Amino acid sequence: MSTNVTTDKNLSTNGKFYLYVRKSSESEDRQVQSIQDQKDYWMRRSVQEDFEIVGMYEDEKTAKMPNCRPGFKKMCKDVETAKIDWILCLKLDRLSRNPVDTGYIQYMLQQWKIERIITSGRVYFPDDAWLIFSVETGMANQYILDLTKNTKRWMLGKVHKWWLPWVAPRWYANDKMSRTITTDAHEFRVIKRLWEMVLDWESPGNAAKLISQAIGILGLGDTTRGISSANAYQIVRNPFYAGKILYKNEIFPGKHEPMVSWDDFQEVQKTLKKRVVR
């Protein structure tokens, strides 16, 4: 049962209610209600308990790092200018998952800059619930720490199995069913020609231009979308195209199909260095 915000501690409804809603696309928020769901919850509750929400702040960013949410920053400025009395949010972890932002909110509440924070299940007042507030925000912060550790562990495990732990670069594709990396044979042959030309001392930029012209002549533009000079330089410097995975400045073998041999890749790097020297 939700806490009635209009009668708790016999406080009046003259306070200014502001709503904060947040959701990010990262794994920390995958099970959290959408922003619209959060809004709908508080709109229904405001009608049931007869209070008015006079403003709202919204973010679609993670809260695990401080100073990265424009909506939260705006809310903090309004707190400091006494524009806000009461903050509504679904849970405390919607406000913060990092100790910097948590400390700010807790201090503003303690100083009566915020008269109370109201979540779906509890009201936090300036003069009580400090242990509960600290434990609950601490749990949110710890969740992010654990999630980061688990993500890093998963990524390293993926690398040790010789598979790239993130989205494959252009001209490769992540197969969600097999959880491997595949290629398009036709595109693969076209782009492989780039390596052959660079190995013959053609600059990556010129090679890209010639290949893009050929793509246009062959009517393959919709398939490969051509190659820019910047694309070409990114390709010839990326060891992934030589069947390797670069992770934390260390080279690991990969199970994906290489576009060029490792020896040829190293030869291209030497060629590029010689061009820079000249």
List, for residues 129-176, the tens digit of each pLDDT value. 566 677 666 665 665 555 556 667 767 777 877 788 878 887 788 888
Q: Give the pTM.
A: 0.49
Tokens for 80, please give them: 């400091």
What's the N-to-C CA distance of the chain in angstroms? 75
Domain ranges of the chain: 8-144, 161-277
What's the chain's average pLDDT? 78
Measured at the alpha carbon of residue 72, what is the angle toward residues 69 and 75, in degrees to the nearest 5?
150
Range 8-144 has CATH code 3.40.50.1390: yes
Q: Among 256, 28, 242, 241, which residue's Cα sits nearest to residue 159? A: 256
CATH number of the domain located at residue range(s) 161-277 in this protein = 3.90.1750.20
Contact partners, residue 193, CB within 8 Å, separation at least 6: 211
Q: Please tell me the predicted confidence (pLDDT) of residue 158.
A: 78
Q: Please tell me the predicted confidence (pLDDT) of residue 76.
A: 92
